[in-house]
Structure 1
Amino acid sequence: MSASTDEKTAPAPAPEGETKAAPRTRRVRRTGEEARRLILDAAEQRLASSGPEGIRLQDIAKDVGISHPAILHHFQSREGLVGALVERTMTHLRDALLGVITRGQSGALDTDAMMDEVFATLSDRGHARLLAWLTLTGRVEPESGLTDSDDEKSKAEGSRGRQMLGELTDLVHEAAARQARDAGKIEPSKEDTRFFILLAAMSAFGEAIVGRQMYEAAGLGGDPEAAAKFRTRLKALLHPVK
């Protein structure tokens, strides 16, 4: 990818003994790929701290040290930035879960580690809130992805979530079945595996959106370990192989 014109400026210090003149600037050039990564990192931090409404281009530009038009150069619009953030999240979650599954091929399938990744991505980093906001405001359609574009790429990205869920279901089921056979136990059904994944994902979504209110309603509002306790109990309930 060609070099980007994104620049971050910083004042250069005046030589000792001389009158301080107007500050000079030092230009920092970044590649387009590096600039996109920094912008997405800043957007994710805003999402985690302030929710979807915190993804404001002017604030993100200030965080990164670039201009507002520079973000538009890379993502065309706020919707484009949000779409790229969702895409990166799905890729990260898929790669992390596949890594857990691959490590389990030489031993027991670590479903606890899988659930930790799901909760970290969807709940802790705020992505469940973002996806819920996109869905409830009509920015995401089940069959076509982000609705601000109807090109083939957007349609392909819209179906990626379903493809990822199907792929993970197949891989987890294969690993769980192998683990059951090795232990001399009955293999779980494909439906058991599918609902294990759905229950984990939906629990992470629910905790991200209404977890604090639910903990308070249950009398756990003053317990800083409430979320950790909930996740521990959920893990104990959702192991696909007993």
Structure 2
Amino acid sequence: MTQTKRRIRRTKDESQKLILEAAEKLLIEGGASAVQVRAVGNAVGITDAAVNHHFGNRDKLLAELLRHGGRRLKTELKLAVENLGTDDFSVDELINVLCAIYYDQGYADLALGLHLSGWRDKGTGLLNPVVDALHEVRCALYAEAGITAPPIQDIRFVVAMMHQALALGPIFGRAFGRSAGLIQPKDGGLAQQKSWWRSIIQEQLLTVRESDCPV
């Protein structure tokens, strides 16, 4: 007698979590083009229809996958900034979190593809915790020197530019580098970028400048 395979019953949240995890694995291994509904379904052990039942279609699945990456990025950034102002803190932690999701996990390709297709994310403030934490540390440094810290706006600008550069780096980094005469390795000069952004944050944002000191 043929035995039928027992169906695994999962909650809606459990199913969506498994689908997004499978989609993310495909993204890391093969880029956004590898994230196909059938491939995701096969990885989870469900039908194409079941995947579409939860997310509607491939475009909506990709959009939710990008939000999934954003939520994880926000969580990891929160953990990184918790060490700000302590002996355990390193600016490298912040930079490495951003590099990991865009360079190692394929989200740069996904974000650009969705943007070109006309999709727009209405969310804002993803890196606000980073801005606020850096500003808090800088205010403390300036308070020790007995002077008022510069306004927060330049921190917002630097963090936004760093985010933009690291997000686009995996796709355009080498081409943009060549436009300015930089001959970079296959990773787009990632190690050099990390070093440069570390210097900018440490020297320009987290150092009391002589020009701000009273004469």
Work out whether the TM-score is over 0.5: yes
- Which whole-Å deviations, capped at 9, do the CAs of 1:192-219 have from their partners, x for residues lacking one? 2112211210121221212355678844
Gaps of 5+ in 2: 208-215
Distance 2:3 2:175 in 1: 50
Secondary structure of 2:83 counterpart: helix
Higher strand share: 1
Q: Does 1:176 align with 2:138?
A: yes
Question: 2:137 touches 2:206 (CA, 8 Å); kept in 1?
Answer: no
Q: Which amino acid aligns with 2:206?
A: V
Question: 1:46 touches 1:54 (CA, 8 Å); kept in 2?
Answer: yes
Question: 1:89 touches 1:121 (CA, 8 Å); kept in 2?
Answer: yes
Alpha carbons of structure 1 residues 131 and 28: separation in structure 2 relative to 1, 3 Å: same
Provide TM-score, normalisation by structure 1: 0.70
Provide TM-score, normalisation by structure 2: 0.78
Secondary structure of 1:117 counterpart: helix
Alpha carbons of structure 1 residues 185 and 106: separation in structure 2 relative to 1, 3 Å: farther
Match of 2:185 in 1: 221
Alpha carbons of structure 1 residues 220 and 103: separation in structure 2 relative to 1, 3 Å: closer
Shift of 1:61: 0.9
Question: 1:48 touches 1:125 (CA, 8 Å); kept in 2?
Answer: yes
**Matches for 1:101-180 after TM superposition, within 5 Å:** 101-104=81-84, 106-107=86-87, 110-140=90-120, 145=121, 158=122, 160=123, 162-180=124-142
The correspondence for 1:91, drawn from 66, 71, 90, is: 71
Question: 1:124 touches 1:208 (CA, 8 Å); kept in 2?
Answer: no
Shift of 1:241: 1.0
The correspondence for 1:237, drawn from 193, 200, 212, is: 200
Distance 2:62 2:141 in 1: 39
- Which whole-Å deviations, capped at 9, do the CAs of 1:41-95 have from their partners, x for residues lacking one? 1211222232222221011111222111111121122122122212222221222
- Which whole-Å deviations, capped at 9, do the CAs of 1:152-178 have from their partners, x for residues lacking one? xxxxxx1x2x23344542343223322
Alpha carbons of structure 1 residues 32 and 185: separation in structure 2 relative to 1, 3 Å: same
Question: 2:18 touches 2:44 (CA, 8 Å); kept in 1?
Answer: yes
Question: 1:176 touches 1:187 (CA, 8 Å); kept in 2?
Answer: yes
Shift of 1:185: 7.6
Alpha carbons of structure 1 residues 208 and 61: separation in structure 2 relative to 1, 3 Å: same
Q: Does 1:63 align with 2:43?
A: yes
Question: 2:84 touches 2:134 (CA, 8 Å); kept in 1?
Answer: no
Distance 1:163 1:126 in 2: 22
Distance 2:65 2:159 in 1: 23
Question: 1:215 touches 1:221 (CA, 8 Å); kept in 2?
Answer: no
Distance 2:172 2:188 in 1: 16
Q: Which amino acid aligns with 1:49?
A: E
Question: 1:61 touches 1:67 (CA, 8 Å); kept in 2?
Answer: yes
Secondary structure of 2:9 counterpart: strand
Gaps of 5+ in 1: 1-20, 146-157
Q: Which amino acid aligns with 2:173?
A: G
Shift of 1:130: 1.5
Shift of 1:23: 7.0
Match of 1:100 in 2: 80
Count of aligned pairs between the two proteins: 203
Over the matched positions of the two proteins, sequence identity in percent amounts to 24
Q: Which amino acid aligns with 1:139?
A: W
